[in-house]
Structure 1
Amino acid sequence: MPSSSVVHAAVFAAGALVGGGLATAVGASRNRSQLASPATKPGSAPVVDVKVEPSGATRVSPTGAAGTVTPLTPLPAILKYGNPGPIADQLVRTAYVAGYDRRLRHPAWTAEHLTLAKLGKSLLDPPSPESEGGDRSNSTFTEDESLPAMFRARLKDYFRSGYDRGHMVPAADAKMSQTAMNETFLLSNIAPQVGEGFNRHYWAYLEDWCRRLTGAFADVYVFTVPLYLPKQDPDGKWRVTHEVIGNPPNVAVPTHFAKVVLASRPSSPATPTIPEISTGAFVLPNAVIKDETPLESFVVPIEAVERAAGLTLFSDEVKKGSKHICQTARCEVVVRRFDDARKRPEMRRAISAPAK
């Protein structure tokens, strides 16, 4: 497994190709103006559109979500025997929406909306004693039978692969019901992740940080995006190299993962209907990351993620009108090493498990 310094070098080098953001937006003395990004192509439609209601509340509308009607257009005669695509499987679940990549056999992106109430932490709107809650111990990893059989990820693909079945939408974000919890265990919400030092540690800390944002913001939207970033080989050329697991090889292993957040709250008590919007993007290598690594070292422009993934996450208006999340919230993870506590019985009461 590469060392932390090598991992960071790969992240920074990759930024030179995916938009310049990864290399220029990170650094102890960086200027926040570096996070300002060029406008996206005029007329481009966002994968997820963030809108402000007349009441001042914000909502996320995935394009083509269930209930929308897309007019059918006649196919060209050359495609009369079949249209090869691309076909994007949009999966609308109880706690999230996802776009599934049939070729890579993991989500191309996931989107979720976090609030204190949804996480069961609201004092004003606590869950009723009769309400059904999700229990992780009652959930099991399951193949997604809603997808065509030939494009599904399978349980055997991960067996002895050396990678964790990494949740893109964590189970801890879906405690509102057992159905919601179970849906996070569908393999269509899973991607291969390095376990020790990443999925079970730093990535879990980042997921926890996203949940903790609900303590300062009324609405938190979280987008998780697997990435395949290039690195420069000794011959000076840039290449994307990634592993594929399964027998036969079916599931691609991302080189990196991105978390993109949008958080909203009233701009002031005097103007509760005018929202203050904060946004930010973080790209982490799918590798061991030391606990002491600052979260801000993974900050990148949102456009860098969009270019690398081929997505448009937010409209130009949202990007231009938002503050950076690290200006309005503390960008710092809380390290909680539950695995160490299990090895040391005397520490079990002092260290809690990172929720997943």
Structure 2
Amino acid sequence: MSKTTLAAIAAVSAGAGAAITATMYSLRSSDRKGDLESKTISTTTTTVSNSPTASAPIPIPANQIFKPPAPATGLSTSAPATLGPAPVDPSGLFEYGFPGPVADVATRHALISSFDRRLRNPHWVVEHITPASLAQRDGDRKHSVFLEDEAVPENFRAKLKDYFRSGYDRGHQVPAADAKWSQRAMDETFYLTNMCPQVGEGFNRDYWAHFEDFCRRLTVRYPSVRIVTGPLYLPKKDPVDNKWYVRYEVIGNPPNVAVPTHFYKVIFAEDGTVGGNVAIGAFVLPNAKIPNEKPITDFEVPVEAVERASGLEFATKLPMQRRKRLCADTTCALVIREYAERQKAFAKPAGKQ
């Protein structure tokens, strides 16, 4: 197999049926927990002052400590071989507070999410589905309502009014249909920390819903399926100056919530054995109308493409010999169902959110 491959992410225009392909990255190819109490944690990166007069050091995770850089090469021969005590102490600023960024990580019954305060959307949302979880039907969507997540400070929170008359759906990242095993679990999928603005007709209520159904149907073949879902903000080439720009809408008054250009899903389909194989599939879909007849394989990309676009890592601890490509291990195809008509039954009375 060739050691290098080009990952092409397909983008669909706002006009149904029109397609644009944007070549994004040059990549290396490869074949490459029980019932939890609901809680939210904020994680930050901090550092420790090197000043001998500094106050007690701030504890930080070992993996967030950056080692001093190696001695630079190519310095002037007249430069001293070693440096004395540093005349500056940048970390002294942290006595007044650490600026961030902060990720609000929420652990709920059917999902774990990491919230991006700047864009008011999740970085990622993780879920786990099994044949048993999908077989239980103790939750009913008609009893659930959309909720602002009060665990996020109000200044950084996505709010219901941000979506009002925005022209976008409050699009679940972990779908409510994946949490029917418990009413509480389903209710928790309606927090806005599990939502992004999504194009409704032709995407959230159509193609994206069929894609979510595809993920559920994977449990027919695989006893355990784990999925990471989240937004992307990808560049597009300007036809005038041929330069690449990242451009996205922001909704709300004042503008608060970014409208993603694309969404990704990284799927881990496990064979159910200890140390067994994991079939991985990565997909990037544009936040736009997509014709139902378009194959889902048109949106398949290498996992590395999602990593490079999102700044996240997805399988660093999974050995290469245990990895399979999902669409080579099973058939990747959508079953088209009329979700839009079905969802009309869940509409709330006028004036309710």
Output the CA distance in 2 between the equivalents of 1:331 and 1:140. Answer: 33
Q: How does 1:258-269 map to 2 (within 5 A)?
A: 258-266=264-272
The alpha carbon displacement at 1:152 in A equals 0.7
Q: Secondary structure at the match of 1:142?
A: coil
* Structure 2 counterpart of 1:253, from 259, 268, 271: 259
- The answer to which structure, 1 or 2, has the higher relative contact order (CA under 8 A, 6+ apart) is 1
The change in CA–CA distance for 1:319 and 1:207 in structure 2 (over 3 A counts) is farther
How far has the Cα of 1:273 moved from its partner? Answer: 4.4
2:109 matches 1:94: yes
Match in the other structure for 1:124: none
Distance (Å, rounded) in 2 between the aligned partners of 1:117 and 1:71: 42
CA distance in 1, matches of 2:336, 2:101: 41
- 1:226 is displaced (CA, Å) by 0.3
SS in 1 for 2:115: strand
Conserved in 1, the CA contact under 8 Å of 2:31 and 2:325?
no
2:15 is the alignment partner of 1:36: no
1:328 aligns with 2:329: yes
**How far is 1:37 from its partner?**
7.6
Partner of residue 127, structure 2? 112
SS of match in other structure, 1:317: coil
Mapped contact 1:35–1:300 kept (Cα < 8 A):
no
What residue identity is the alignment partner of 1:265?
Answer: D
SS at match of 1:335: coil
Aligned pair partner of 1:2 in 11, 14, 20: 14
Q: In the alignment, residue 245 of structure 1 is paired with which amino acid?
A: I
In the superposition, relative to structure 1, how do residues 89 and 337 fare at CA in structure 2: closer, same or farther (>3 Å)? same
Structure-2 change in CA distance of 1:71 and 1:186 (3 Å): same
Task: Name the % identity.
Answer: 51
Quick one: which of 191, 196, 200 aligns to 2:196? 191
Q: Tell me, what secondary structure is at the counterpart of 1:100?
A: strand
Please give the secondary structure, in 1, of the residue aligned with 2:102. Answer: coil
In the superposition, the TM-score normalised over structure 1's length comes to 0.74
Secondary structure in 2 matching 1:20: strand
Secondary structure of 2:291's match? coil
**Equivalent position of 1:85 in the other structure:** 100
Distance 1:342 1:274, change over 3 A: closer
Name the amino acid aligned to 2:256.
N
Would the aligned equivalents of 1:279 and 1:319 in 2 still touch at CA under 8 Å?
Answer: no
* Structure 2 equivalent of residue 227 of structure 1: 232
Q: Match of 1:181?
A: 186
1:199-239 Cα distance to aligned partner (Å, 9 max, x none): 00000001010011111001100010200000100111000
* 1:187 CA displacement: 0.7
Question: 1:2: Cα distance to partner?
Answer: 2.2
Alignment gaps of 5+ in structure 1: 22-33, 39-57, 60-64, 121-126, 267-271, 344-356
1:102 aligned partner, one-letter code: R
CA RMSD of aligned residues (A): 2.7
Which is higher, the Rg of structure 1 or of structure 2? 2
Give the distance between the partners of 2:176 and 2:341, measured in 1 at CA: 22
Say whether residues 1:149 and 2:164 are aligned partners.
Answer: no
Amino acid of the structure 1 residue aligned with 2:244:
W
The 1-side partners of 2:226 and 2:342 are apart by 32
What amino acid maps onto 2:152 in structure 1? L
Equivalent residues in 2 for 1:207-222 (5 A)? 207-222=212-227
Other-structure match for 1:53: none
Distance 1:309 1:274 in 2: 28
Task: Quote how far apart the aligned CAs of 1:158 are.
Answer: 0.3
- Runs of 5+ consecutive residues of structure 2 not aligned to the other structure: 1-12, 35-39, 49-56, 59-90, 345-353
Q: Which residue identity lines up with residue 121 of structure 2 in the other structure?
A: H
1:275–1:321 CA distance, 2 compared to 1 (3 A):
closer
Q: TM-score by structure 2 length? A: 0.75
Q: Tell me how far apart the structure 2 counterparts of residues 324 and 339 of structure 1 sit (CA, whole Å).
A: 31
